[in-house]
Structure 1
Amino acid sequence: MDGYFRLQRRLLLATLLLSAVAVAGTAVLGSIPTASSLLVGALAGLLYLWLLSRSVTKLGENARRVSKVQLLVPVVLVLIAARTPQLSILPALLGFLLYKPAVILQAVFDT
């Protein structure tokens, strides 16, 4: 389990670093409202990844299948972005998906 917990921390850290670079780059090259939408989406993606990893950790102990609570995160993100005039849906969704390149990069670095 120690290896899994190290992998979990590395994935969360890689997602956080990639999100920080993307938000900073968007703020410099793009606009602040777009960067704030990207930041909200990135935080939602980080929350999603953390909830998913927590669910996978519990998989062997008490549960027989992965919880579906984390699936509410993108739904809530879209609802918030749609109802908040300061946020844009597309940058928020792209920010949410930033956890995927971090996972791919982590897999490449592990091999």
Structure 2
Amino acid sequence: MDDYARLQSRLLMATLILAAVAVLLTALLLGISPAISLMIGAFSGMLYLKLLARSVARIGSNSRNVGKAQLLVPVVLVLAAARLPALDIVPVLIGFLLYKPAILIQALIPARVSSIPG
């Protein structure tokens, strides 16, 4: 479980770094409103990833299926983007999906494993 906890923190950190870079570039290129929408989407994606990880961690201990609570995050996000004129739906969705490149980065770049001699 320690490896799983480290993977979770690496995924969240990679998502946070990607989000910070994307928000900065969006603010510089498109303006502050799309950057705020992207940031809200990115934080929602991180919340989704955290809830999903918590649900997956519970599979082995007391249940056999993944919970559905994390599915509320994208639904509420899309509804909020559709109802609130301050949020742009495309940057919100792009921000939400920023956790996916972080997963790919973690899969392609191996973690540093300390070797123990002996």
- TM-score range (shorter-chain normalised) is over 0.9
* Corresponding residue for residue 77 of structure 2: 77
Give the whole-Å Cα distance in 1 for the aligned partners of 2:27 and 2:14: 20
Give the whole-Å Cα distance in 2 for the aligned partners of 1:16 and 1:55: 21
* Corresponding residue for residue 63 of structure 1: 63
1:45 aligns with 2:52: no
Q: Identity of paired residues, percent?
A: 61
Amino acid at match of 1:58: R
Give the whole-Å Cα distance in 2 for the aligned partners of 1:89 and 1:63: 35
5 Å-filtered alignment, 1:16-27, equals 16-27=16-27
Other structure's SS at 1:77 match:
helix
| Moved segments of 4+, more than 4 Å | none
Q: Which has the higher helix share?
A: 1
Q: How far apart are 1:79 and its partner, in Å?
A: 0.6
Q: Report the TM-score when normalising by structure 2.
A: 0.91
Q: Report the TM-score when normalising by structure 1.
A: 0.97
* Corresponding residue for residue 98 of structure 1: 98
Unaligned runs of at least 5 residues, structure 1 = none
RMSD: 0.9
Q: C-alpha offsets along residues 58-111 of structure 1, whole Å, 9 cap, x if unaligned?
A: 111111111111011100000101111110111100100000000001110127
Q: What is the aligned length?
A: 111
